């Protein structure tokens, strides 16, 4: 990136980035600085840039072949590697999981083998859903299953959970989904108190089939079923990689597969999300969710940055990170349904782009992925917005909002509905952060120039949720392509796992050389 002509130009432009606090700074920008796809508007009027910067960002995308790299990824090229070093060394094909609509435009790439694999799993899932629905699959008492407990962690929990909560308004009547992820026994205990085990399916998800937390929780949940006189095999289904230690169909009511070319944090649209979402929300809603993601994958191949939403979001993120030096990104949905979306994006972005070597194994000399965090508004306004408005740390924000609520159960209080009050707050924050406010009282000064964008749609439906998910997934991939880093491995999570296993060995009385850990344990009285 740094040796491109556009980089030098962007650096020059950043010395004089657009001042959002000047008089009439926002006038005319809301209409002109808006891109739309699939019913989602992306408004970037409140970013510290002008059309000249957007043109230069287009140059950066062109010089780094960002769109071509994305298309090659979708076509099945090996994009998960570090040249000359031991690495995962494989294709990146989560997009094939939603390339199941036979809608490939001419000239677009696709990996047919991966698409066929995805279609085969979806067909298996459809049969499973029908059998639950029509009573072919019943519990020992001949009753239908109406609850599901999902056991998984990281990518095998965060994305599916975030999407389920986002779309709970569309849940199949009478069905409930519970989640267990943490190895903290209280996480499982709280769910097990609440769930009706007799009428529960358990969906155990682990791509590797070897994750400590998930295997421990699976055993713990199974022991509760046994204690209640229930056979886990009649209740447990699994989602895992072919050939993983969990790939043992004799042990489960059904086994579904994901593929090594689908990364955990990109796996929501694979069987990892599919089984639970189809059970909880209904198969058709799940398919509509996939459809939304697919449409954004197609939009992501437009070379014009103003028409390619994820690319535009990626480049604006790069502008903020590398040229304006902002270290973090707050994702602030004005929708309670998106309460876990930021947590999912935190993994998706930080595990992907929290890297310091490029795809040739060289240390990079620029910043990569931002720290991603966030909470829904308006709750966040009463918690951390003080810092966003007035501290020295500038926090770029992505606001997300919808014209209509999901349940449409609202009340006019003092002339406005709750939804109108929610939207008023959303727009007020976006403008206030950008323009700031002067005052004679230094404690009441709002410096402004806090960059922010808005993603806005009519209503949070399954299709819009699929689109939102893919917008961010593809944004993250685009940033990795421009930075020339590998966004698809996660070596940084290994060290902690190795050290934890050494400490577990100490607990089991084995003789390990782990002096620091032994001293630490002693200090804590363990
Ligand atoms: O699905 P698995 O193999 O249990 O892994 C769970 C999570 O653990 C990680 O490997 C990180 O520890 C994530 O990348 C992954 O999403």
Report if residue 31 sits inside a domain: no
Please indicate whether residue 154, judged by its CB atom, sits closer than 6 Å to ligand 1.
yes
Pocket test for ligand 1, best of 150, 162, 211 (most atoms within 8 A of CB): 211
- 441 shares its domain with 515: no
Q: How far apart are the CA of 363 and the centre of ligand 1, in A?
A: 25
Range list of H helices, 235-366: 271-281, 283-299, 309-318, 341-353
- 192 shares its domain with 306: no
Report if residue 70 sits inside a domain: no
Q: Which helix (H) or strand (E) covers residue 206, if one does? A: strand 200-206
From 289, 319, 336, the end of a domain falls on 289
Pocket test for ligand 1, best of 92, 156, 488 (most atoms within 8 A of CB): 156
Q: What is the pLDDT of residues 277-326, one digit of tens each?
A: 999 999 999 999 999 999 999 999 999 999 999 999 999 999 999 999 99
Q: How far apart are the CA of 217 and the centre of ligand 1, in A?
A: 15
Q: What is the pLDDT of residues 416-441, one digit of tens each?
A: 999 999 999 999 999 999 999 999 99
Q: Count how many domains the chain has.
A: 3
Per-chain mean pLDDT for the chain: 97
31 catalytically annotated: no
- 378 shares its domain with 408: yes
Q: What is the pLDDT of residues 344-381, one digit of tens each?
A: 999 999 999 999 999 999 999 999 999 999 999 999 99
Of the chain, the percentage scoring pLDDT greater than 90 comes to: 99
**Residue 516 domain boundaries:** 494-523
Residue 221 maps to which CATH number? 3.40.50.10490
From 243, 267, 289, the end of a domain falls on 289
Q: Are strands 40-43 and 452-457 parallel, antiparallel or unpaired?
A: antiparallel
- 11 shares its domain with 138: no
Give the pLDDT of residue 461. Answer: 98
Please indicate whether residue 153, judged by its CB atom, sits closer than 6 Å to ligand 1.
yes
Please indicate whether residue 211, judged by its CB atom, sits closer than 6 Å to ligand 1.
yes
Report if residue 81 sits inside a domain: no
Work out which ligand 1 atom sits closest to the CA atom of 155.
Answer: 16
Dihedral, CA of residue 169, residue 175, residue 181 and residue 183, to nearest 10: 140
Q: Are 271 and 257 in contact (CB under 8 A)?
A: yes
Helix (H) and strand (E) counts in the chain: 17, 13
Report if residue 339 sits inside a domain: yes
Q: Report the nearest-CA residue for atom 2 of ligand 1.
A: 206
From 289, 318, 348, the end of a domain falls on 289
- 242 shares its domain with 117: yes
Report if residue 315 sits inside a domain: yes
178 catalytically annotated: no
Q: What is the pLDDT of residues 20-53, one digit of tens each?
A: 999 999 999 999 999 999 999 999 999 999 999 9
- 337 shares its domain with 450: yes
Report if residue 72 sits inside a domain: no
Please indicate whether residue 207, judged by its CB atom, sits closer than 6 Å to ligand 1.
yes
- 256 shares its domain with 385: no
Please indicate whether residue 217, judged by its CB atom, sits closer than 6 Å to ligand 1.
no
- 476 shares its domain with 500: no
- 374 shares its domain with 504: no
Q: Which phi and psi angles does 256 have, rounded to 5°?
A: -115, 155
Report if residue 478 sits inside a domain: yes
Report if residue 94 sits inside a domain: no
If one counts every other C-beta atom within 10 angstroms of the C-beta of residue 2, the result is 12
Q: Are 301 and 313 in contact (CB under 8 A)?
A: no
Pocket test for ligand 1, best of 80, 92, 153, 210 (most atoms within 8 A of CB): 153
Give the pLDDT of residue 511. Answer: 87
- Choosing from 382, 409, 414, 522, the catalytic residue is 382
Please indicate whether residue 140, judged by its CB atom, sits closer than 6 Å to ligand 1.
no
Strand partners for 423 = none
- 270 shares its domain with 314: no
- 409 shares its domain with 436: yes
- 277 shares its domain with 306: no
Q: Is 136 exposed, middle or buried (0-12, 13-18, 19+ CB in 10 A)?
A: exposed
Q: How far apart are the CA of 8 and the centre of ligand 1, in A?
A: 38
Q: Is 488 exposed, middle or buried (0-12, 13-18, 19+ CB in 10 A)?
A: buried
């Amino acid at each position: 990136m740094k040796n491109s002509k556009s980089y030098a130009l962007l650096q020059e432009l950043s010395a004089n980035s657009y001042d959002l606090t000047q008089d009439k700074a926002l006038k005319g920008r809301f209409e002109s600085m808006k891109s739309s796809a699939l019913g989602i508007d992306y408004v970037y009027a409140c970013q510290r840039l002008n059309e000249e910067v957007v043109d230069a960002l287009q140059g950066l995308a062109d010089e780094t072949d960002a769109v071509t790299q994305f298309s090659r990824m979708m076509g099945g090229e090996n994009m998960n590697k570090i040249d000359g070093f031991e690495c995962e060394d494989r294709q990146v094909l989560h997009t094939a999981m939603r390339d199941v609509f036979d809608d490939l435009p001419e000239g677009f790439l696709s990996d047919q083998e991966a698409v066929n694999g995805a279609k085969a799993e979806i067909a298996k899932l459809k049969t499973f859903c029908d059998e639950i629905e029509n009573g072919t699959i019943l519990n020992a008492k001949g009753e239908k299953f109406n609850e599901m407990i999902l056991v998984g962690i990281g990518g095998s929990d965060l994305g599916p959970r975030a999407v389920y909560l986002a779309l709970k308004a569309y849940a199949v009547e009478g069905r409930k989904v519970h989640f267990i992820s943490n190895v903290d026994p209280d996480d499982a205990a709280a769910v097990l108190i609440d769930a009706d085990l007799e009428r529960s399916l358990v969906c155990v998800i682990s791509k590797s089939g070897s994750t400590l937390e998930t295997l421990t929780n699976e055993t713990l949940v199974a022991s509760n079923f046994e204690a209640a006189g229930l056979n886990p095999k009649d209740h447990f289904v699994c989602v895992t990689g072919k050939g993983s230690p969990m790939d043992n169909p004799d042990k489960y009511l059904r086994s579904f597969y994901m593929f090594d070319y689908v990364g955990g944090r990109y796996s929501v649209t694979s069987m990892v999300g599919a089984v639970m979402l189809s059970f909880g929300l209904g198969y058709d809603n799940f398919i509509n969710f996939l459809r939304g993601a697919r449409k954004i994958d197609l939009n992501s191949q437009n070379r014009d940055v103003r028409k390619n939403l994820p690319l535009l979001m990626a480049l604006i993120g790069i502008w903020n990170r590398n040229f304006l030096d902002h270290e973090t990104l707050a994702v602030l949905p004005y929708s309670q349904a998106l309460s876990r979306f930021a947590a999912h994006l935190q993994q998706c972005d930080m595990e992907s782009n929290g890297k310091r070597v490029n795809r040739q194994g060289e240390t990079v000399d620029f910043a990569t992925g931002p720290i991603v965090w966030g909470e829904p508004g308006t709750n966040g306004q009463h918690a951390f917005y003080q810092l966003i408005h007035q501290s020295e740390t500038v926090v770029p924000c992505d606001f997300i909002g919808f014209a209509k609520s999901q349940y449409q159960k609202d009340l006019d209080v003092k002339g406005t509905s709750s939804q109108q009050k929610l939207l008023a707050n959303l727009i007020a924050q976006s403008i206030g952060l950008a323009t700031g406010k002067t005052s004679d009282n230094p404690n009441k000064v709002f410096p402004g120039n806090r960059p922010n964008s808005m993603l806005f749609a009519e209503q949070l439906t399954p299709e819009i949720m699929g689109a939102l998910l893919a917008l961010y997934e593809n944004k993250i991939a685009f940033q990795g392509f421009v930075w020339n880093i590998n966004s698809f491995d996660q070596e940084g999570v290994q060290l902690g796992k190795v050290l934890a296993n050494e400490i577990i060995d100490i607990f089991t009385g084995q003789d390990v050389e782990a002096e620091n850990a032994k001293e630490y344990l002693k200090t804590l009285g363990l």
